[in-house]
Amino acid sequence: MEKVCLDTNVIIQFMKNDGQVVSRLEDLAKTHVLVTTVLNSFELYGGIYRKNAHREEKDAEQILEKMEVIEFAKEDSKPAAKIFSDLIRQGKESSPEDSIIAALCLKNKCKLFTLNRKHFEKIPGLQIV
């Protein structure tokens, strides 16, 4: 089965029981393996710890336990840096975090489910669902 990588904003909305996100994830889970990246996990926990939200921490743990979490390795830094640098040179707004997520999706042949399409749609080869 093909993989779909969940961006941090999707996981957050799922945790908030957003009806549209929950419905979309239910549909995607029928035909895809749902994954995320270690960077998305970092962003998720960072938000939880800033709010000191212990219940949300347990919810996040339960969600992430059920998913493959794609690691960021030394060899992934080069393609991520290239994506970031190319976008900046072209005058397109980007962040190192989004470039890392995109590079990991491309390497692992994952589509990306994000609520911030404009952050990623300018990255060549990246499929957004």
What is the reported pLDDT for 93?
84
Sheet holding 68-70, edge to edge: 68-70, 32-37, 2-6, 110-113
Query: pLDDT tens for residues 32-52?
Result: 999 999 999 999 999 999 998
Overall pTM surpassing 0.85 (yes/no) = yes
What is the reported pLDDT for 22?
98
**Token pair of 59, please?**
């919810």
Q: What is the pLDDT of the chain when averaged over all its residues?
A: 96
What is the reported pLDDT for 94?
86
54: pLDDT strictly greater than 90:
no
What structural domains and CATH numbers belong to the chain? 2-120 (3.40.50.1010)
SS3 113: strand
